[in-house]
A and B are shown apart, each in its own frame.
Chain A
Amino acid sequence: MIGLRVEGLAHVYLAGAVRALDGVDLEIGPGELVALVGQNGSGKSTLVRHLNGLLRPTEGRVWVDGVDAAGRTVAQLARLVGSVFQDPDRQIFAGSVRAEVEFGPRNLGLAGTQLRAAVAEALAAVGLDGQEDANPFDLGDTRRKLLTLASVLAMGTPVLVLDEPTTGQDARGMGLVRAVIAAAHGAGRTIIAVSHDMSFVADDFDRIIVMSAGRVILDGAPEEVFAEEQWPLLASTFLEPPLAARVGARLGLGSTPADAALIRALADRGQQLDGKGAKPPHQPT
């Protein structure tokens, strides 16, 4: 179980003067379940690429497991922080599904039955078991994306970084991704996911960090971040609370950004009405 901390983190890509990150301070504890949201170009992907050393700070520091990441190589950080890219084609390189998933854990020193078990478990988690011999490039886009998730899962890193894991997933893929995240969280791994899907982050994450123009502008539980008083701030960076939050506010049920929270609040409201002897909307005849 390890934690992450960034201090005064700024990043300027060499190509231009854009400050993709402009002073980020953040602490993520061991086992936290965190979503990063924000407009395109707000710095989410740039931030997470600092966590495993793919990018190095222009200013500021990144601490992984209490140690300054500046003193560690990407290979050392990769044992701690597993990262799934947004675009699977920038990650996949092997000629078979098995070889692709074996690569990571093998480089961490796994071999023999241990390696086979890690690969089998990861492939089963994303529903790709039985397709070990397929060429990754013969798989459709969404299966390729699930494959990259399996490759990183198999490494068993204490931290998992997922860049837009649900993009382009159909109903089944969405269910698989959600189950993978819940299981990894249940196993005590720290999860950091970048997403544009506000319902997904409100339903499945404990903490939401909102970024805008390279800074963190909101950080809290879903019901805090999506509370009505924050809507103007969210709108200023073109974010919209999930439908459940808007319905909850419209019905005066408080902040209910997660589907489950809204359903609970609706059920409570129904019971209150019954308790007061109020007439339910439709009496059975």
Chain B
Amino acid sequence: MACSPGSHETCTDTVLSLRGVSYRYAGATDPAIRDVDLTLQDGELLGIVGASEAGKTTLCLVAAGLAPRTIRGSLSGTVHLDGEDAASLQMHELAARIGICFQRPWTQLSGVCETVFEEVAFGPMNLGVPRQETLARTDEALTALAITDVASRDPARLSGGQMQLVAIAGLLAMEPAHLVLDEPTAQLDPAGTRLVADALARLAANGASILIAEQRTDLLAALCSRIIVLQAGRVIRDGPTVEVLTDPELPRQGVPETSAGRLRRLATEAGIATELLDQALD
């Protein structure tokens, strides 16, 4: 079904849409995000970049329906999830549709599970997924992120990176239709980062739509088709990944360069023809 501008309430392809959204935390004088217009299509992987405190985390919380629901503040504009006003959905309805991965895994873990296995099974169990399927999904998620060897350990006593993988495995096991991730690889080593990237790509291939805030532009370059740039709470750029990430203005907007972009820039600055480099980077 074709989506015409302004008809997002009834459009089936657009799964998440923000219209003129501003959000101000309780007690803050200025909004953390302002006048954000954003749509996310079915199966789309959308990257969010921006300097620290540009509003990435706030945008994640608003898009997942958690702000102002669980974090005090005032929202203006509208957030629609699957064509419904997110504010009208009950918390359990929201949780079944959209998952969120917080920046710090230790704030995400339930705190009530004694083993990693139980922690990963916690989400689907609470969504009422039948026992056998919960067990199967848990095994699958642990395997996908290569953490089966810590399945019987206490989640609170893992390293930061292992904890982050457990938090993400818990989300995978819930099989959310939509997923919001706030710097999901901040604690991860390169291998963990790759496993998460593969798992997200598989989810998206199966139709999930994914919003991912990251400082690691290399990861976004490999994963996302589209990227938005936030600056001081506003969306200042929204376009195809290659165009956005090769913009020379990006570092001035606080966004780290991709590794390839940095090498090309350094070569150019040193007066070296980039042909050789380009061959090797392809």
Contact = CB atoms under 8 A, between A and B. Distances in A.
Given A140-B53, A239-B190, A247-B277, A266 B259 contact: no
A49 to B, nearest CB: 12
A40 B52 CA distance: 25
Interface of B: 50-53, 57, 103-104, 106, 153-154, 157-162, 165, 183, 186-192, 215, 251, 254-257, 259-260, 262-263, 266-267, 270-273, 275-277, 279-281
Contacts, number: 128
B263 A247 contact: yes
Given A171-B251, A266-B277, A41 B260 contact: no
A25 interface: no
Interface residues of A, number: 48
A263 B270 contact: yes
Contacts of A58: none
A45 B277 contact: no
Contacts of B271: 267
A134 to B, nearest CB: 12
B121 to A, nearest CB: 21
A169 B52 contact: yes
B273 A270 contact: yes
Contacts of B259: 199, 242-244
Nearest to A44: B159
B157 A263 contact: no
Contacts of A16: 153, 157
B260 A243 contact: yes
B30 to A, nearest CB: 13
Contact of B267 (A141, A143, A240, A266): A266
B232 to A, nearest CB: 13
Q: Which 9 A-B pairs have the closest CB atoms?
A: A40-B161, A238-B191, A142-B52, A243-B259, A140-B53, A281-B275, A247-B280, A170-B51, A170-B254
A136 interface: no
A87 interface: yes
Given A40-B160, A40-B187, A239-B191, 7 more contacts: A87-B104, A170-B254, A171-B257, A199-B259, A263-B267, A266-B270, A266-B272
Contact of A240 (B51, B153, B159, B190): B190
A81 B52 CA distance: 29
